[in-house]
Structure formats: C-alpha cells, structure tokens
Structure 1
Amino acid sequence: MKLLVFGASGRIGTELVRQAVAAGHAVTAVVREGSSLQVPLPELRLVAARAGVAGGLTEVVTADVMDPQAIAPLLPGHDAVLSALGPRPKGPSDVMESSAASILQAMSESDVRRLVLVSVAGIHTRGDGPFTKYVVKPILQRILRESFADARRMEELIGAGPLDWTIVCPPMLTNGSAKGTIRSNTEGTVRGGFTITRADVATYVLNAIDNAALTRKTVVISN
C-alpha cells in the first residue's frame, strides 16, 4: 500500500514510518516546517533491504497539515491516510480538531477514503472499573482538560464525517521495544489497560488499515 502519514516527525509517527517501510509499504511522511523525519532515509532503506521487501520507498514532504489546500495535492495515489498528531501537553489545544478538519476537507475532494487516526483513551470511561472511573479518570481529566477536550472534538468531527475512518485510542504511552501483545475493545475501555508502547500503537494502526471490522469504529487499545 501507499500510505500518507501526518505527524511523521513525532514519536508515534516515527514508529509508523519505520514499521510501514519494513513491511514494504510506500510511505509519504509529512512533517511541519522546522521539523524533520527522526529516522534518516538511508536507515529506512536499510530497514527495507534487511526485511527483503521491494517496497518501502519513502518521500518526506514539508507541509502544513492545518491547510487543506497545502495537503490536498499529496493525496492522489495513496491508499490510506494516517494521523499520529497529538494534542499539546499543556495549555489550550486545538491541534487534533483543526488537523482533522483540514484532513477531512482535503480528503473530501479526493478518491482516498481510508483514514486512521490516533486519539487518547483517557476520554473514554465505558467499561472502566470503579477506581479508574471515579478516581483515576477524574484526576486525569482535570490535569489534561484542554488536551482531552481537543481529542473529544476531533473524535466527534471524524465520527460525523463520511470517510472510512478508525480512531485508535491508546492510554499512557511508553518507549522501548514493542511487547507484541495488544488488547483492544471497540465497545469501551480495556480493563486494567494503563500503558502501551508507542511501537505497539504503530503496529496496531498499520494492522487496522485493511481491517474491515474496524471501519467507522473507535477502538481503545493497551498492552
């Protein structure tokens, strides 16, 4: 497949690009002005070569994801769009909502229908145990209220749109190697699922692309 990745310079985006290339996908990695891909292209080509894949070609493009006219020309020829953009960690944030609105507008004028986005598990409470629901989540929602509000607006916007979308919601993100065990729930949260590695998030997002059962679904994941 040919994949268009927004937020490619971030830590989840880096994993998406690296794993997609290793799997033989052709990747267009979009970074904002002043940023760069964290994985050098020669390293990505070496990853592809070691995996013995013919694909894995990578193009790095600088574009403003908030400008639909800037990203629309990038869409033709791609099979899916992936967004690893997250909210600002502190203070007012509209990164997720505004980027989603721009992506939706750009995709509405193209033939690309598949969209997979990363959100946050903290805004979802259905299925939580009493301690998580009444103690942990209220604390998180106070501390991260701006970020969580941004994520909620993004999910509402995407959910009301016409695309073949999937929203992937991880809990607290950790670094390190993938654990390889990913639990998921499309009907609520994952009981006891408090953390997940960024590498595992990327793996799940890539596997979700051609999973028809996840079309127009919001899924919470964890290790």
Structure 2
Amino acid sequence: MKITVLGASGRIGTLAVRDALARGWHVTAVVRDPARLSVASHPRLDVAVHALDDPALASAVQGRDAVVLALGARDRRPTTVNADGARAVVSALRGSDTRFVAVSAAGLKTDGDGFFTRFLVKPLLGAVLRNGFADLLVMEATIKASDTAWTIVRPPRLTDGPATGRVLVNTAGPVRGSFSISRADVASFLLDAADGTGLVRTTAAIAGR
C-alpha cells in the first residue's frame, strides 16, 4: 500500500504516518517544514516539502493507493488551509481511483443530534470555532463535488489517549452518547478507510466507545 499524508507534521497526521509504517505501507509525508515532522527516518518513508499551492505537490499525490488529508489550523483566525488542501488533492486525483480520506469535525452539523447537543453545545462550539468550521465546510463541499473516491471522517472532541480500536461509526448521522475520541483512534480509522472501499463517497461520524 502506498499512501500520502498531507498534514503529516500535525498530531493526527504524525500518528497516521507512524501507524501506516507499522502496517508495512510506503508513506509519503507532505510537510511545509521538515523540521516539524517528529517521525524517525525510515526506508519506507519519503518526506515531500510542499506548500498547498505548489504545482509540484501533485507529484506527491498521484500514483498512490490513497491520500489522507489531516490538515489543521494552528489558531482560531480565518483560514483556508483545509479548503486549499482539498482543492489541491482533487485537482491532482482527477480521473483516478485513488482513495481520498479527509478529516473534518462532528461539530459542523446538528442533524440527528439530541436537544442539548443541537441547541446548546454545538452552537457554542460553532461560535468559538467559526473560522475553522467555515474552512471545513468549504473543504467538504469541494470534496463532495469531485469525482474522487472520497471519504469524509467527522470526529468529535479529540484527546491524546492511546489507540483503543473501539470506534463507533455512523454514516447516517451523528454518533450519539459519545463525545470524544483519541487522535490515535482517528488516525487508525483514517487508514482503515483508505484501505477499503466500504466508505467510498460516504461521510462517517466516529467517536470512541
């Protein structure tokens, strides 16, 4: 399996790179600053240094079995990092059958949520994270309008706990009754989704058990 991870120096991206290497996969880690990549050198790891608007980024994406988009804003200011990443990947993958898996956020949508979550928790969350959510909404729309074999993954509050392998999944709405998940479990789920076709052109809400 050959996979490219965009956002490889981020917390989920780093875990995805390490997990993929542990699975025996060949990994291309795309970063803007290689000094920020906290993954030891490995014979199956290539580090590609590209900005999202770099035309040469396509060479790090094309010909892979899967691409994982695990970008994240560093603060709460207005950003287009996820939307820009989605556009770059969609352009590079046009006409291919490469799997494209992207991390979004459970807080974007309220359909199917309970009263408390829908009318109190998520409105407050959306007010605090409005810039990041606006970016993710554009990212999702860009991906869904593409012809790629995409999967969008929406986790709730992220923690730094270990991978448990116990992940609740709902493709028809939110996961109710669970409000957090470890970044390690998210990274593992991204790779599982990239390695199969069961979630192609599907949005999956996930949470820890």
Q: How would you bin the TM-score normalised by the shorter chain?
A: over 0.9
Query: Does 1:170 pair with 2:155?
Result: yes
CA distance in 1: counterparts of 2:21 and 2:46, whole angstroms: 11
Superposed, which structure 2 residues align to 1:142-157 within 5 Å? Answer: 142-157=127-142
Shift of 1:187: 0.8
Query: Does 1:96 pair with 2:82?
Result: yes
Shift of 1:113: 2.6
Name the aligned partner's letter for residue 27 of structure 1.
V
Query: Does 1:79 pair with 2:68?
Result: no
CA distance in 1: counterparts of 2:62 and 2:186, whole angstroms: 26
Name the aligned partner's letter for residue 23 of structure 1.
R
Residue 22 of structure 1 corresponds to 22
Superposed, which structure 2 residues align to 1:1-223 within 5 Å? Answer: 1-33=1-33, 35-41=35-41, 45=42, 57-67=44-54, 69-108=55-94, 111=96, 113-223=98-208
Instruction: Note if contact 1:64-1:70 (Cα within 8 Å) is conserved in structure 2.
Output: no
Equivalent residue pairs, number: 208
Q: Secondary structure at the match of 1:214?
A: coil
Shift of 1:196: 0.6
In structure 2, do the counterparts of structure 1 residues 63 and 117 end up closer, same or farther at CA, with 3 Å as the change threshold? Answer: same
Runs of 4 or more, structure 1, over 6 Å off, are: none
CA distance in 1: counterparts of 2:87 and 2:63, whole angstroms: 21
In structure 2, do the counterparts of structure 1 residues 174 and 208 end up closer, same or farther at CA, with 3 Å as the change threshold? Answer: same
Q: Secondary structure at the match of 1:131?
A: helix
Shift of 1:90: 0.8
CA distance in 1: counterparts of 2:165 and 2:53, whole angstroms: 33
List runs of 5+ in structure 2 lacking aligned partners.
none
List runs of 5+ in structure 1 lacking aligned partners.
46-55
Shift of 1:167: 0.5
After TM superposition, the score normalised by the length of structure 2 is 0.94
In structure 2, do the counterparts of structure 1 residues 141 and 163 end up closer, same or farther at CA, with 3 Å as the change threshold? Answer: same
CA distance in 1: counterparts of 2:170 and 2:75, whole angstroms: 25
**Rg bigger for which structure?**
1
Instruction: Note if contact 2:50-2:56 (Cα within 8 Å) is conserved in structure 1.
Output: yes
After TM superposition, the score normalised by the length of structure 1 is 0.88
Once the two structures are superposed, what CA deviation does each residue of 1:99-124 show, in whole Å capped at 9, x if it has no partner? 1111111222x745310011111102
Name the aligned partner's letter for residue 72 of structure 1.
A
In structure 2, do the counterparts of structure 1 residues 186 and 99 end up closer, same or farther at CA, with 3 Å as the change threshold? Answer: same
CA distance in 2: counterparts of 1:94 and 1:76, whole angstroms: 23
Q: Secondary structure at the match of 2:162?
A: coil
Shift of 1:178: 1.1
Shift of 1:96: 0.7
CA distance in 1: counterparts of 2:77 and 2:163, whole angstroms: 31
Once the two structures are superposed, what CA deviation does each residue of 1:155-196 show, in whole Å capped at 9, x if it has no partner? 011101110000011111110211221001111110022111
